[in-house]
Structure 1
């Protein structure tokens, strides 16, 4: 198998590395990290033991050429420009596209570009951060779930899952990708969204509006969101709203899924979800994929989601204000 990884941050580097460990010919499409990775490879500092690997490094997709598999781990904010610019040179008649991106709308965008029969979605349940060029810190977890776009899993998906298992992480194959995406949103919406919105203050989160004359405070990682009863209550309310919205669309997620996610998060310590890091470093937030598109689909299904609506409004306001980086 020949695979390309597009978006070689924490997620792309980690899971691309797992494929490389199984003997897959792995190419990384790189920008700022090119020189470091080309010379020194990628180093994973993991709770399960450190390891390193040397993928083929490229600056342009034409240097890689058509692949059997393209793993996409870009920020969803880059989709509109990156998909048509970066993916076509990597595509052959039988290329599979696997998006490991968060949120909704990513598989649909890939299907529009390359055809639905080529598209798979993956959900990563892992705590990772890129701490320097070519260096990834793996803090906890690692499980990945794979499914096909708009159809049950085919043998090719099971074969890819076997590579991830051989690489060292649990991998589950699912027949309903949409259900799995909504289950992941039950975690992503509160911990990515509230973590950023907390910089505007608790009352701003409740009312969905920030008084811009007041300075921003600090973003909140997972631990304080769970230890403060007020924030924990909002975490649970948001989770239940997402579950309710999914159920309105015929997706069977039990309410107990909220508490299961909360308990799994307690072992993460002070984990800064990706949106918090984007906000602190002045990068665009993944508002569409993680918050606005889920809210639109919830409203279309006539699900009542007042907390999610308020969170969306506040995050849009914070994004538009483009304040100096928040502090941790």
Structure 2
């Protein structure tokens, strides 16, 4: 990859809260951003994308909206923003969007997503980003952004120069999205799991409750902290430098969110498929393979399976 790599055209695959928000920010900054839309297509064509945001509201009136990847055609950068439960469609959706130099960036939660994309594109064209943000899609083409927004972007195949990630981070930063290039994508992924595993998981296991309800119960907060400690231990056993201070940091940053609905909890209560495999099952497997005892994570995974009838 040339040190002068940059990108022009962008395709956003997955028009939920994440895809609409980050894609609209790039487009509003002048980027050539093309959205692959299904259920949101008619609403977005009629009235654009609306973002109600703590970082400043945005109404992107003119949107390049398409119903199929063939209509979009090959682009320089593909951003995968749908839930990992849709990854079985990658083999159908990705090829029409690729040219010889196309790079693919996944904004998905959990582990295993980069590997799935690499099966189609080869590992050298894959990047991952972690979104530290509170977003909810309120309606077709309408997203609520209530906190955060930072992106941590890393290369799937380690590159000492980390040049593609740096350029993508620069472009997002120029669009008003705090972004940084991470020297270690696995470290960033596990750092996100410190929050996702307990809060998304217990929100489901407790029957579909918001984060404030979880933190109002001392026994549940203790379980959150125990789960976080196990995630950090599992990451550390794999040579990843996660600090114990992440426990207090993540708990305390969640308190001001109020009645926040984690994305997996929303999927659960609305009857959609939950990203169980990527957020809980794969981290559990990797922890056990690293020889780390994770009884709290194992127990949470079992509770989630019971809730989901898996």
Range into which the TM-score falls when normalised by the shorter chain: over 0.9
Q: Secondary structure at the match of 1:121?
A: strand
Counterpart pick for 2:257 among 252, 268, 286: 268
Q: 2:116 — aligned with what?
A: 109
Q: 2:190 — aligned with what?
A: 182
The 8 Å contact of residues 126 and 157 in structure 2, kept in 1 or not, is answered as: no
Residues 75-127 of structure 1, C-alpha deviations (whole Å, 9 max, x = no match): 101102x1001111001101110000000000111111101111010000000
Q: 1:49 — aligned with what?
A: 56
Counterpart pick for 1:22 among 26, 29, 36: 29
Q: How far, CA to CA, are the matches of 2:173 and 2:216 in structure 1?
A: 34
Q: 1:21: Cα distance to partner? A: 2.1
Query: Does 1:220 pair with 2:209?
Result: yes
The 8 Å contact of residues 146 and 173 in structure 1, kept in 2 or not, is answered as: yes
Counterpart pick for 1:230 among 209, 213, 219: 219
Residues 170-222 of structure 1, C-alpha deviations (whole Å, 9 max, x = no match): 111111100110010000000100000001xxxxxxxxxxxxxxxxxxx2211
Q: Secondary structure at the match of 2:100?
A: coil
Q: 1:154: Cα distance to partner? A: 2.9
Q: How far, CA to CA, are the matches of 1:235 and 1:41 in structure 2?
A: 39
Query: Does 1:300 pair with 2:289?
Result: yes
Residues 210-268 of structure 1, C-alpha deviations (whole Å, 9 max, x = no match): xxxxxxxxx22111211211110011000001001111111111111111111111121
Q: How far, CA to CA, are the matches of 2:149 and 2:240 in structure 1?
A: 25
Q: Secondary structure at the match of 2:127?
A: strand
Query: Does 1:143 pair with 2:113?
Result: no
Query: Does 1:193 pair with 2:194?
Result: no
Q: 2:266 — aligned with what?
A: 277
Q: How far, CA to CA, are the matches of 1:126 and 1:240 in structure 2?
A: 22
Q: How far, CA to CA, are the matches of 1:30 and 1:169 in structure 2?
A: 22
1:3-22 equivalent positions in 2, closer than 5 A: 3-22=10-29
Residues 259-285 of structure 1, C-alpha deviations (whole Å, 9 max, x = no match): 111111112111101001000110011
Q: 2:5 — aligned with what?
A: none
Residues 273-318 of structure 1, C-alpha deviations (whole Å, 9 max, x = no match): 1001000110011000000000000000011100100111121122
Q: 1:2: Cα distance to partner? A: 0.5
Query: Does 1:33 pair with 2:40?
Result: yes
Q: How far, CA to CA, are the matches of 2:27 and 2:176 in structure 1?
A: 11
Q: How far, CA to CA, are the matches of 2:140 and 2:126 in structure 1?
A: 29
The 8 Å contact of residues 106 and 129 in structure 2, kept in 1 or not, is answered as: yes
The 8 Å contact of residues 8 and 73 in structure 1, kept in 2 or not, is answered as: yes
The 8 Å contact of residues 22 and 163 in structure 1, kept in 2 or not, is answered as: no
Query: Does 1:167 pair with 2:175?
Result: yes
Residues 116-160 of structure 1, C-alpha deviations (whole Å, 9 max, x = no match): 111010000000000000000001111111000020353222111
The 8 Å contact of residues 162 and 181 in structure 2, kept in 1 or not, is answered as: no
Q: 1:73: Cα distance to partner? A: 0.7
Q: 2:100 — aligned with what?
A: 93
Q: How far, CA to CA, are the matches of 2:215 and 2:238 in structure 1?
A: 29
Q: 1:259 — aligned with what?
A: 248
Gap runs ≥5 in structure 1: 200-218, 322-328
Q: How far, CA to CA, are the matches of 1:91 and 1:48 in structure 2?
A: 33
